[in-house]
Chain A
């Protein structure tokens, strides 16, 4: 018991230490979180009327962000696969940071879904046994299960490894290997189930296309790693962790393939819709050319397309992929490109034109944006704290106290 308390203090102390930049960063996040919380309070008391969500477009910015972040979370698997299956050593060492990112991303996903609910006080109604979860009929029930399961798996793997390391013990790979193997199909499942959420709705032709789930996966394997590559470079800059360039370039290469597949699937979608030119073309037309003069997403979609194609070529050519400057440009382009494409670019056209033909141009209100930023800040804060603890544990600077020994945290 005492040991537990001491070790908890060790962790707390570690989080409470840092240089100026660390504190400035944490303070900034805290500020954004407070702003988000205040805005959310307003949404709670006044209702969803403070958002731009209406009957015509019944899901908006929150669900868009949710969809994007499921992709980020799923992408942790991209690091696990080469690391453990092919034993590619340089990547193996950084898998942990990917898994921690998945934890932060899933937390954000869950927050976005909860924030989007009209009645948060009835959250318990979706729980199995206690509430009346509609399993297996509702894909949302599936999503609740796979997202929480994924969170659990990643928490277990990373916390087990960290705990062992913090106690100066080698962790036993045999114990967590089954979990790691399980996490691979599970990562695929979270994104597939999320795609199916939309995919299964015959009322919405834009989503009701079998290409949706494969495209989700392809784009997730671009955006998630792009975010990670940037974070890895920050980590190795501010800490003693060494992340080899070789690992980064390998991931970048895999991203090029994923982006290639993503663009190919987009082209397939384009061909099918525009060539067959049926009534189901309308949402695509709205996205890329505007429908009946309503075209607020058009510039976004073309930018996303330009960004993704540029990034594809950057990551395809070894010269640009293996140059950190161009690589980072590519990463930023991918993050923005996929954020548009798999966020608003996916959710909104499902509702346009509406089932009764109406075109309601959705664009998020200030409150929606503040709440969204608040959620992102929460995720960033979680990730910051997780890294703050994981980095010294990995480098051996942070160790738990053991029974007889005094504290060794430096």
Chain B
């Protein structure tokens, strides 16, 4: 039932694209791929062939930009999987290793700096559940942890009821069947409505073309995840979709790196998963529950 409209739209666009391209290409030295990029369809509306063409074009484009061979996966969500995350606040020592592991894994821009994980430092006894006014993300002590503080990392909470998706005027961001909220970086228009709507400061905007040194780039990517982004689009944590979708999948980079094991990850639909154990045996809470966003990101105190 979804088929009809997209096809007519597609053929319309192809006609236009061909027409415009025919006009433009002989004149300038414009590469046909510029037009293909311009008229690229929304990811959810592409069939497998179109996806393959787009991936090939993107891999070429990235190669030109970063002088590396990229692999861009389009792995779909696995049936029977709903990803959930747990964070043990009693263990987190605020070392920010997760922040940097994430930057590296997910090809975040180094200049200007983008970080999907924000570690907040909060003075013990201060408010933090629904109001983070006393929290500080700019802390630079000699050594962590510090006696008077505790730390609370925040990243995309992969809301079950995500306000960011609701407000996007172009449907450039949506919730996948496995619960991950993703963005099509080739569809986002950079209006930043989603950033205003997100209650967790999880969305980040590419103020200019992201810069990453060639030797630091991660070429193992997913279309909806860590592939390099463009100027003027929004990005966010995807629970490392390039790692976690697979059988066997890998843990997200932040889970893997955490030196104290504060980070838990798993399938909420699997009764034997670690995340289910945490939810059932610890006292978990979620951030800003009053907003009814229903995050799949659970905080708890294990010890």
Contact = CB atoms under 8 A, between A and B. Distances in A.
Given A48-B232, A144-B169, A123 B189 contact: yes
A294 to B, nearest CB: 12
Contacts of A56: 201
A394 B169 CA distance: 41
A201 B231 contact: no
Contacts of B192: 58-59, 116, 118
A132 B205 contact: no
A119 B190 CA distance: 6
A360 to B, nearest CB: 11
A113 to B, nearest CB: 8
B212 interface: no
A118 B169 contact: no
A350 interface: yes
B191 interface: yes
Interface in A344-400: 350-351, 353-358
Interface stretch (A95-103, A134-142, A209-217): A134-142
A198 B166 CA distance: 13
Interface residues of A, number: 49
A140 B167 contact: yes
A198 B196 CA distance: 8
Contact of B197 (A121, A141, A203, A279): A203
A133 B190 contact: no
B231 A118 contact: yes
A132 B170 contact: yes
Interface string B219-232: 00000000000111
Contacts of A131: 170
Nearest to B37: A121
Interface stretch (B60-68, B131-139, B242-250): B131-139
A356 B201 contact: yes
B189 A58 contact: no
A356 B187 contact: no
A355 B200 CA distance: 6
Contacts of A122: 170, 187-190
B106 interface: no
Contact of B190 (A118, A200, A203): A118
A253 to B, nearest CB: 38
B61 to A, nearest CB: 15
Contact of A138 (B120, B135, B169, B195): B169
A279 B13 contact: no
B171 A355 contact: no
Contact of B205 (A46, A58, A134, A200): A58
B201 A119 contact: no
A202 interface: yes
B154 A201 contact: no
Contacts of A354: 201
A204 interface: yes
B233 interface: yes
Interface string A94-133: 0000000000000000000100111101110110011111
Contact of B9 (A130, A201, A203, A350): A130
A173 interface: no
A282 interface: yes
B291 interface: yes
30 contacts: A47-B208, A47-B209, A47-B232, A48-B205, A48-B208, A53-B207, A58-B205, A113-B191, A117-B232, A118-B205, A118-B206, A125-B187, A126-B170, A126-B189, A132-B171, A132-B187, A138-B167, A138-B169, A140-B169, A197-B193, A198-B196, A201-B196, A279-B127, A282-B133, A351-B196, A354-B201, A355-B200, A356-B120, A357-B133, A358-B201
Given A118-B189, A279-B130, A357-B136, 10 more contacts: A47-B231, A49-B208, A116-B191, A116-B192, A118-B234, A119-B232, A130-B13, A138-B166, A201-B167, A203-B199
Interface of A: 46-49, 53-56, 58-59, 113, 116-119, 121-123, 125-126, 129-134, 137-141, 144, 197-198, 200-204, 279, 282, 350-351, 353-358
